[in-house]
Structure 1
Amino acid sequence: MSDYQGWTLEEHEQIQPWNILDHNLGLVIQGMQQTGFQKWGFTIYRCTYSDVDAWLRYIQYVREEFINTLIIYGQQFLLEKYLDIEVIEDRDQLDGASKPLIRSIFAEKAERDRQTEHGGPGTATLIARMIPRFNYCLYVDQACLDTLLAYEKWKREHEQGGHQNEMPPYVVCAIIDTDCEPEGEGKDGYEPVEGCTRYFPGWMYCVVKFLPDIYNRLHFEELIDGYKSYERPPAVTNAKGQRMPLVAETVPTVQI
């Protein structure tokens, strides 16, 4: 019996609640089938401009990890053609930009895209508003780019005989939730993270290789929901103890 189930969304059987667990990344497929938005994937904001070559390698790494996951899940023939990883670059506006600024910029973009991709104003259904590509974006600053450099260094040394009993460091990005309140959410009183003392500052660090699975679950869960799916920064979710450097808080200068 062939495993072929159609290599377009129209040919593929309709994903329903009773058969969704039979399909890897089934929520991604269902979301596109039900809404007519035939794209999936995150928008990436480039917020560091220190190393062009490293940036290009970072983006290539992200794309390769998405494809690798599709191959592992046997979904490359169906889902690769619909994968849309949009990269936003603007040195004047985005170099060193804060996460709240990116949240604001992306929220406006997502609202425009939600309308123009599906027939104009008023056509975006409630289900369409829940699609992750319209609610979450990726943020890459120098600290995130440095995780690629650390991974590449580990890989070179491993090929030369080093680190034989060690796991490589993860390549990391930040994922931003546009629906979070500006001051954060959850219980207050935590160590400040970029000025936020609430449990959830509106974003988290995540491992790039897990992004397809995160995208899939965000169809039905919030970023901080689910079992072991959120760790408060500077910890990295699902990274076995890897942490990121905290960004120092800036104190505005008062003109006298």
Structure 2
Amino acid sequence: MSSISAEPSQVSETGTYLDHISSPDVDFDHIKSTMTCTKFHDSIWGFVIYRCSQGNQAAWDRLLQALRSEVQDSLRYYIRPDLLEFHDLHVIDDKSLYGATSHQVRDHFQAWVPKNLEDRVRPGATNLDDDVDWHYATSTPRYKYCLFADDLCLESVDHPGSHRPAVKLLCKDWESPYLPEERNYSVPAPFHDGATEYDEEDVGWMYMPLAYYIDKYDLLGKHDWDDQYVRPPYIDGFENEERFIGHWRQKSLSEEVKATSEPSL
């Protein structure tokens, strides 16, 4: 479980409320070194993000703006504008993926990665399989992990608080123990995925507050998924139910039940 220090909330120049500025332990030089490969015709870094919710266009737009503002504000704070022009939050907004599960997002991402790498290879590049830089560049967080936002994530934009808003961070190489026809398993409370009641079960994705974007990109470039993983809905592993992503749904449901059970006058 990683530890990322937070600083007091502040308002950025773009008007975004920030609960966090990237940790001073972020290795910006490492991020810079991984965005370049002699086999590529371009140099970029940053996550791919999938939209998996059809509704709430305003929240989706605000979420993307908040992510981009987080990167901009952090790089400005640490005086690293050299990285900003190369940042690419690649958005995949495909209607066929609205309502997609983590398994379906992973399937798409696994197919997208080799196609995108092929598009980035410069004309005349050869011997890719024997090139150490190529293997290093293709194992960066951009190609091993992706983000996706579903209904719950978009709702979190309108329910700010500790660790919110948040998106889902997915591991591409996670192998599901279930066949496709077995993926409609029952999820035990209070978890948001998985088929067991054990908090150490790895379900292949976890929640990531928007403010952790650069930190996670850096950490996942140097450490394994297992070192960072926390089973959802937990983010730091110590939240109570009132801080879970989606707790507002339960509150709303309770209020509806209470309203219908009260006798009319």
In 1: Cα distance, 2:127 partner to 2:142 partner: 18
Is it true that 1:87 corresponds to 2:91 in the alignment? Answer: yes
Return closer, same or farther for 1:79/1:46 CA change in 2, 3 Å cut-off.
Answer: same
Q: Name 1:105's counterpart in structure 2.
A: 108
Return closer, same or farther for 1:168/1:131 CA change in 2, 3 Å cut-off.
Answer: closer
Summarize deviations over 1:231-255 as a string: whole Å, max 9, x none. Answer: 21111248965322499xxxxxxxx
In 1: Cα distance, 2:238 partner to 2:84 partner: 26
In 1: Cα distance, 2:126 partner to 2:37 partner: 18
Structure showing greater relative contact order (alpha-carbon pairs closer than 8 Å, 6 or more residues apart): 2
In 2: Cα distance, 1:95 partner to 1:131 partner: 27
User: TM-score under structure 1 normalisation?
Assistant: 0.70
Match for residue 99 of structure 2 among 66, 79, 96 = 96
1:1-256 matched pairs, under 5 angstroms: 24-33=27-36, 38-75=43-80, 77-91=81-95, 93-119=96-122, 123=128, 125-151=134-160, 170-183=164-177, 191=188, 193-197=192-196, 199-225=201-227, 229-237=228-236, 242-245=243-246
Return closer, same or farther for 1:238/1:110 CA change in 2, 3 Å cut-off.
Answer: farther
In 2: Cα distance, 1:117 partner to 1:87 partner: 17
Summarize deviations over 1:175-233 as a string: whole Å, max 9, x none. Answer: 1000111128xxxxx956434436211111111111111111211212231xxx33211
Query: Is the CA contact 1:175–1:206 (under 8 Å) kept in the aligned structure 2?
Result: yes
- CA RMSD in angstroms, aligned pairs only: 2.9
Query: Is the CA contact 2:144–2:171 (under 8 Å) kept in the aligned structure 1?
Result: yes
How many percent identity over aligned positions? Answer: 26
- SS class of match (1:138): strand
- SS class of match (1:236): coil
User: TM-score under structure 2 normalisation?
Assistant: 0.67
- SS class of match (2:104): helix
Query: Is the CA contact 1:132–1:215 (under 8 Å) kept in the aligned structure 2?
Result: yes
Unaligned runs of 5+ in 2: 1-23, 179-186, 250-265
Cα deviation for residue 38 of structure 1 reads: 1.0
Q: Name 1:15's counterpart in structure 2.
A: none
In 2: Cα distance, 1:179 partner to 1:62 partner: 24
In 1: Cα distance, 2:157 partner to 2:231 partner: 21
Instruction: Work out the number of aligned pairs and report it.
Output: 202
In 2: Cα distance, 1:85 partner to 1:178 partner: 17
Cα deviation for residue 149 of structure 1 reads: 0.6
In 1: Cα distance, 2:221 partner to 2:148 partner: 20
Query: Is the CA contact 2:171–2:205 (under 8 Å) kept in the aligned structure 1?
Result: yes
Summarize deviations over 1:70-118 as a string: whole Å, max 9, x none. Answer: 112211x201110001111122x11110000000101110111122213
Unaligned runs of 5+ in 1: 1-20, 152-166, 185-189, 248-256
